[in-house]
Structure 1
Amino acid sequence: MSVDTPVRPSAGRAAPAPGRRYRAVWRWHFYAGLLVAPVLLVLAVTGSLYLFKDQYEEWRYKDLRTAAATASPRPLAEQIAAARTARPGAAVASVIPPGRPGRTTRVIFAGNAVGPFAPGVSVYVNPADARVLGSVDDSATLMRKVRTLHGELMAGTVGDRVVETAACWSLVLLGSGAYLYRRGPARRREAKRGRSRLRRVHAVTGVFAGVVIAFLVVSGLPWSGVWGEAFQRMATAAGSTPPDSDRFARQSTPPDKGRDLSQHPDAKVPWAAEERPVPASGHAGHGGAAGGTVGAAPVERALRAAAARAPHCPPAACEYKVLLPRGERGVYTVTVASRHDPADERTVHVDQYSGAVLGSYGWSEYGVLAKAVEQGIALHEGRRYGPLNTAVMLAACLALILLTVTGAGMWWKRRPSGGLGAPRRTGDRRTTLTVAAIMLVVGVLFPLAGVTMLAALLVDALLVRRVPALARRVG
Structure 2
Amino acid sequence: MKKNNYNRFWRWHFYASLFIMPLLITLTLSGIGYLFYTNVENKIYDHLFFGKSEKAEHLTIDEGIQHATDKFPDYSLSKVIILDDPYNKRLTLTNNDGDQKYVFLDSNNELVGSQNANYTFSNVMRNIHSSLFVGGTVVNYLVELAACWAIFLMISGIYMTFKGKILKKKKEESKRQKNRKWHALLGTIITIPMIVIIFTGLPWSAFMGNFIYSASQNHPSIGTPILQQQPPTSDMSEIPWATRKNETPTSEHSHAHHGDMGNMPGMLDHEHMLNVEQLMSKVEKEHISKPYSIVYPTSQEGVYTVSKGSNTGVTGLDVSPYDEMTSYFDQYSGKLISKVSYDDYGILAKWFTWGIPLHEGHLFGWPNKLINLTVCLAFLFVIFWGVKTWLSRQRKKTFSPPPKTSHNVSIGFIILMVLLGIVMPLFGISLIVVAIIEVILYLIRRQKTS
The TM-score bracket by the shorter chain reads 0.7 to 0.9
Verify the 8 A CA contact 2:77 2:92 in the aligned structure 1: yes
Describe the shift of the 1:461–1:416 C-alpha distance in structure 2 as closer, same or farther (beyond 3 A). farther
Q: After the TM superposition, which of the residue ranges 396-405 and 287-296 deviates more from structure 2?
A: 287-296
For residues 233-312 of structure 1, the aligned pairs below 5 Å read: 233-239=214-220, 240-245=222-227, 250=228, 252-253=229-230, 259-260=231-232, 264-285=234-255, 290=266, 296-307=273-284, 309=286
Q: Does 1:329 align with 2:289?
A: no
Q: How far apart in 1 are the matches of 2:268 and 2:116?
A: 19
- 2:315 corresponds in structure 1 to none
Q: How far apart in 2 are the matches of 1:161 and 1:106?
A: 32
Q: How far apart in 2 are the matches of 1:282 and 1:430?
A: 64
3-state SS in 1 of match to 2:309: strand
Q: Does 1:163 align with 2:143?
A: yes
Describe the shift of the 1:143–1:292 C-alpha distance in structure 2 as closer, same or farther (beyond 3 A). farther
Verify the 8 A CA contact 1:152 1:158 in the aligned structure 2: no
Describe the shift of the 1:244–1:112 C-alpha distance in structure 2 as closer, same or farther (beyond 3 A). closer
Q: Which amino acid aligns with 2:75?
A: A
Q: After the TM superposition, which of the residue ranges 64-73 and 39-48 deviates more from structure 2?
A: 64-73
Q: How far apart in 2 are the matches of 1:273 and 1:177?
A: 37
Q: Does 1:191 align with 2:173?
A: no
State the Cα distance separating 1:215 from its structure 2 match: 0.7
Q: Which amino acid aligns with 2:402?
A: P
Q: Which amino acid aligns with 1:226?
A: F
Q: Which amino acid aligns with 1:320?
A: Y
Verify the 8 A CA contact 1:281 1:331 in the aligned structure 2: yes
Q: How far apart in 2 are the matches of 1:430 and 1:96?
A: 57
3-state SS in 2 of match to 1:278: coil
Verify the 8 A CA contact 1:267 1:335 in the aligned structure 2: no
Describe the shift of the 1:292–1:110 C-alpha distance in structure 2 as closer, same or farther (beyond 3 A). farther
Q: How far apart in 2 are the matches of 1:21 and 1:157?
A: 35
Q: How far apart in 1 are the matches of 2:440 and 2:23?
A: 27
Describe the shift of the 1:408–1:200 C-alpha distance in structure 2 as closer, same or farther (beyond 3 A). same
Q: How far apart in 2 are the matches of 1:112 and 1:153?
A: 25
Describe the shift of the 1:212–1:293 C-alpha distance in structure 2 as closer, same or farther (beyond 3 A). farther
State the Cα distance separating 1:298 from its structure 2 match: 3.8
3-state SS in 2 of match to 1:241: coil
- 1:57 corresponds in structure 2 to 41
Deviations 1:314-341 (A, max 9, x none): 31xxx31111233332221111235352
The one of 439, 442, 448 equivalent to 1:461 is: 439
3-state SS in 2 of match to 1:429: coil
CA RMSD after TM alignment: 2.9
Describe the shift of the 1:420–1:457 C-alpha distance in structure 2 as closer, same or farther (beyond 3 A). farther
Q: How far apart in 2 are the matches of 1:293 and 1:98?
A: 27
Q: Does 1:21 align with 2:5?
A: yes
Q: Which amino acid aligns with 1:178?
A: I
Deviations 1:189-224 (A, max 9, x none): x33334643222211211111111101111111111
- 2:428 corresponds in structure 1 to 450
Deviations 1:212-269 (A, max 9, x none): 1101111111111111111211222222333254xxxx4x42xxxxx136xx445421
- 2:313 corresponds in structure 1 to none
Q: How far apart in 2 are the matches of 1:53 and 1:403?
A: 25
Q: How far apart in 2 are the matches of 1:95 and 1:440?
A: 47
3-state SS in 1 of match to 2:171: helix
The one of 392, 411, 421 equivalent to 2:400 is: 421
Q: How far apart in 1 are the matches of 2:369 and 2:16?
A: 28
Q: Does 1:224 align with 2:191?
A: no
State the Cα distance separating 1:420 from its structure 2 match: 3.2
- Residue identity over aligned pairs, in percent, reads 27
State the Cα distance separating 1:435 from its structure 2 match: 1.6
Q: How far apart in 2 are the matches of 1:346 and 1:73?
A: 31
Describe the shift of the 1:200–1:77 C-alpha distance in structure 2 as closer, same or farther (beyond 3 A). same
State the Cα distance separating 1:310 from its structure 2 match: 5.9
3-state SS in 2 of match to 1:201: helix
- 1:44 corresponds in structure 2 to 28
For residues 167-182 of structure 1, the aligned pairs below 5 Å read: 167-182=147-162
3-state SS in 2 of match to 1:192: coil
Query: What is the TM-score normalised by the length of structure 2?
Result: 0.87
For residues 119-134 of structure 1, the aligned pairs below 5 Å read: 120-128=100-108, 130-134=109-113
Structure 1's unaligned 5+ residue stretches are: 1-16, 254-258
Q: Which amino acid aligns with 1:403?
A: V
For residues 77-156 of structure 1, the aligned pairs below 5 Å read: 77-100=62-85, 102-111=86-95, 114=98, 120-128=100-108, 130-155=109-134, 156=136
The one of 364, 378, 381 equivalent to 1:402 is: 381
Describe the shift of the 1:422–1:451 C-alpha distance in structure 2 as closer, same or farther (beyond 3 A). farther
Paired residue total: 429
Q: How far apart in 2 are the matches of 1:445 and 1:356?
A: 43
Verify the 8 A CA contact 1:92 1:293 in the aligned structure 2: no
Q: How far apart in 2 are the matches of 1:345 and 1:308?
A: 18
State the Cα distance separating 1:464 from its structure 2 match: 6.3
Deviations 1:69-102 (A, max 9, x none): 99995322111111111111312110113422x4
Deviations 1:172-195 (A, max 9, x none): 00111111111114344x333346
Q: How far apart in 2 are the matches of 1:61 and 1:365?
A: 36
Describe the shift of the 1:228–1:22 C-alpha distance in structure 2 as closer, same or farther (beyond 3 A). same
Describe the shift of the 1:20–1:337 C-alpha distance in structure 2 as closer, same or farther (beyond 3 A). same
Verify the 8 A CA contact 2:74 2:95 in the aligned structure 1: no
3-state SS in 2 of match to 1:109: strand
Q: After the TM superposition, which of the residue ranges 232-241 and 77-86 deviates more from structure 2?
A: 232-241
State the Cα distance separating 1:140 from its structure 2 match: 2.0
Describe the shift of the 1:18–1:113 C-alpha distance in structure 2 as closer, same or farther (beyond 3 A). farther
Describe the shift of the 1:218–1:81 C-alpha distance in structure 2 as closer, same or farther (beyond 3 A). same
Structure 2's unaligned 5+ residue stretches are: 311-317
Q: How far apart in 2 are the matches of 1:46 and 1:455?
A: 29
State the Cα distance separating 1:373 from its structure 2 match: 0.9
Q: After the TM superposition, which of the residue ranges 268-277 and 37-46 deviates more from structure 2?
A: 268-277
Describe the shift of the 1:187–1:393 C-alpha distance in structure 2 as closer, same or farther (beyond 3 A). closer
Verify the 8 A CA contact 1:293 1:325 in the aligned structure 2: no
Q: How far apart in 1 are the matches of 2:166 and 2:51?
A: 62
- 2:188 corresponds in structure 1 to 207
Q: How far apart in 1 are the matches of 2:266 and 2:429?
A: 44
State the Cα distance separating 1:127 from its structure 2 match: 3.5
Verify the 8 A CA contact 1:121 1:135 in the aligned structure 2: yes
